[in-house]
Chain A
Amino acid sequence: MSILRYFILLAILIIIGCSTKTPSDAGSALRLNISGEPPTLDWTLATDGTSFHVITNLMDGLTAFDKDMNPIPAIAKKWDISNSGKRYTFYLRDDVFWTDGAPVTAYDFEYSWKRLLEPSTAAEYAYFLYDINNAQEYNSGKIKDFSLVGIKAMDKHILVVDLKKPTPYFPSITTFMVTFPLRKDVVERHGSRWTEPENIITNGPFILDKWKHEYKIELKPNKRYYANKPLLDKVEMFMIGEISTALTLYETGGLDIVGIPPIAISHYKDSPEYRNMPMLRNNYYGFNVAKPPFNNAKVRRAFSMAIDRSEFPKILKGGEVPATSWIPKGMLAYNPDVGLKYNPDEAKRLLREAGYPDSKNFPKVIVAFNTNPDNQMVAENLQAQWKRNLNISVELDNQEWKVYLKRLKTDAPAIFRLGWGADFPDPDNFMNLFTTESGNNNTKWSNKRYDKLIELAAIEMDAEKRIKLYNEAQRILCEIDAPIMPIFISAQNVLVKPYVKDYKLNPMDILYLKDVRIEK
């Protein structure tokens, strides 16, 4: 008995004795949630948003985005375009230094891009540079001599890039992290551990100070940064997977910025701390046009027209933008007038013309998606709408992500869900998804006119002409042939404490922290 009493006493003392402070909110430290461990901070190998959030604050590249997502000079102070758009000559600043004092040179870029294309690196985003002469050939091992690839550092401050064809969006590509420069000596000396805080060398606004894996990353400002120094003393990026836990932390003073789960949005809508912005991420349901009855465009159009997309923001509550067209809002050539508007009567008429008056004898249809609560909600809503408006009962099916992907490649269901987020803010990145050649086109749809339009738009330098081309292409994609039905554009919803200033959301969901400051 007495032993027990002793331990109870001890436990009580421990509980009383310990401090109950949540993570420090002293000084000018910004605390936010990046939702998970970055799979890697090696920018040649990184492919996901979480890694990107960190890397984008540690490094600068040739170009960067302004607030309207246009590429502007960063480490490259200017560039010349010659050879009818096939040659870019980048002139680098001479006042950019790595955190150990060494200057950033064009050789660092050349080394980084070579590493990206090196077959043994096995970098998933190697295709990002495939516009460059012989890049794809080098990456696939067809040629072994890197000097044949169109990347050449002429001297410390000049980088010349030769492209396969005119590529107007190339300066957008050089904003992307896989094109950031690398220090050959650092990578070779530390091997796969070169990204650990004690080894990593960077050139951007912040330094990687601490990395407690699966838990948090701490950044501090880079005193050698060539542009305006960051105004924060410290950034703590926590990795909290459960979004409602993060919200509770925000409310108890443990975080300064947090994403809001859809279900809580209506509670914060009127709060001054609430911010919303649509993303360059579109969601769609594709049709496998090889599977009847969806080989008939009329049936596809009917299904698309029978859906009232305004229901999605109601149930997802995230400020999602209903979409009938494919290019997302905020991107060049976004056009909300393109696409099939909600019209159940017209939809029924189309079905009748296709041979299914009153949906009689309509075959069984499987609608598939990858397992996820939001996808689930949307799918169940689609199911209810098709039942209500067309009197057709579809069957829902879902699988775990990797299994789902395999299924799409081997035997895509009649109707399947996918999404696409911009790798860089140019419509080509979205539209070339559905060309005949594209490895990401699961619809089995092929349209020569569409392919031609995309090809022309990719090399067209004039913005007005590009918009015209993309309008016609989108009409084919979303109205006439309709191998896909876009449903909604995703949006970001965050809460930001009032003392956090100059924190701006952007449609590519890039986390820019260098201009942020805390004012208590």
Chain B
Amino acid sequence: MSKENQKLKFKNQNLRIRPLALLSVIVIALLILSAISAPLIAPFSYDAQDTANILKTPDSTHIMGTDKLGRDIFSRILYGSQISLSVGIIATLVAMIIGVLYGAISGYKGGAIDNYMMRIVDIIYALPDIMVIILITIIIGRGFLGIVLAISIVNWVGIARLMRGEVLKIKEQLFVESAKAVGAGHWRIILRHILPNTLGPLIVTMTFRIPAAILSESTLSFIGLGLAPPFSSWGVLANDGWAALRFYPHLLIFPAIIIFITVLSFNILGDELKEAMDPQLRKGIRIINGA
């Protein structure tokens, strides 16, 4: 127990000192907040068409301009953040849950079971991602559920492998041995001893997976296979704007910037968390004259 407390304290300490981490947390919090309060702060509804004001460049009424149906881009980005962020976070959570459980069981059991479970992972790995996604979206449909499931199913295997690796590392450690000697049940060991010690890498992984899921969703929407309208995720907006880049750049620039900021913040946060958890950090060797 004390070891875990130490780790958490360690993390907090370092976050407070690291300005970049703080900045990224603030940005992410702002994004999530604005997504939740979109109905309150958006000046227009995301589907309000104004065929008299088609493709207007940014001005005082429409601070990010309008699209080809006369809809306000700023409002659509706000509403879009609800979708993109939830797809990113939920798809990652689902993938994490499946992957963590699968990897934990596989690594913990070891032996033949581990072997078979990892062979299954190998096989799934060998299927092309994009094909699996398309097949799932054709069967389930291209709604929220379909896209979330498709992205999760394609991503859980990597997490499973990671988790298994971590579990293998920890399994041999003393406190697990002693727990077994005391006669603790398998689930108890997994849940109370192994999982908490993998928390660090898992959180870091999750922080990197979320932006990857958001990028997956935008790329899928770009090739026309992602969320189907009337959803207006950032990917859908970027797709709308892509073909018009030379004539109406504002259609692509604004969604691209927001995707960029979001993904960047998560990645920077992930980097910072990783550095913070690196036990070598504080006593690292200075090779060249650095900080």
Contacts and interface: CB of A to CB of B under 8 A. Distances in A.
Interface of A: 242-244, 248, 261-264, 267, 311, 314-315, 317, 371, 373, 376-377, 380-381, 383-384, 396, 398-400, 403
Given A384-B47, A400-B138, A377 B244 contact: no
A263 B248 contact: yes
Given A380-B47, A380-B229, A396-B230, A261 B243 contact: yes
A314 B68 CA distance: 9
Contact of B229 (A264, A376, A403): A376
B247 A381 contact: no
7 contacts: A244-B245, A264-B244, A264-B247, A314-B51, A373-B240, A377-B69, A381-B69
Contact of A243 (B69, B239, B243): B243
Contacts of B141: 399
B228 A398 contact: yes
Contacts of B244: 244, 261, 263-264
B51 A263 contact: no
A121 B248 CA distance: 49
B224 A371 contact: yes
B11 interface: no
Interface of B: 47, 49, 51, 54-55, 68-69, 138, 141-142, 224, 228-230, 239-240, 242-248
Contacts of B239: 373
Contacts of A315: 51, 54, 68-69
Does more than half of chain A's interface fall in helix, strand or loop, or is it mixed? helix
Contact of B230 (A242, A244, A311, A380): A380
Given A380-B230, A384-B49, A263 B138 contact: no
Contacts of B54: 314-315
A383 B45 CA distance: 14
Nearest to A379: B229
Contacts of A398: 228-229
Contacts of A384: 47, 49
A376 B224 CA distance: 12
A37 B68 CA distance: 30
Contacts of A267: 247
Contacts of B247: 263-264, 267
A264 B245 CA distance: 10
The 7 closest A-B pairs by CB, nearest first: A263-B244, A244-B243, A384-B49, A376-B229, A314-B51, A267-B247, A311-B51
Contacts of B240: 373
Contacts of A403: 138
Contact of B243 (A263, A311, A380): A263
A244 B252 CA distance: 14
Contacts of B248: 263
A317 B243 CA distance: 14
Given A314-B54, A400-B142, 9 more contacts: A244-B243, A261-B244, A263-B248, A264-B247, A376-B229, A380-B230, A381-B49, A381-B51, A381-B69
Contacts of B246: 244, 248, 264
A380 B47 CA distance: 8
A373 B228 contact: no
A409 to B, nearest CB: 17
B277 to A, nearest CB: 32
Nearest to B243: A244
Contacts of A396: 229-230
Contact of B68 (A248, A371, A377, A400): A377
A315 B55 CA distance: 10
Contacts of A242: 243
A264 B54 CA distance: 13
Contacts of A243: 243
A314 B138 CA distance: 32
A265 to B, nearest CB: 10
A259 B244 CA distance: 14
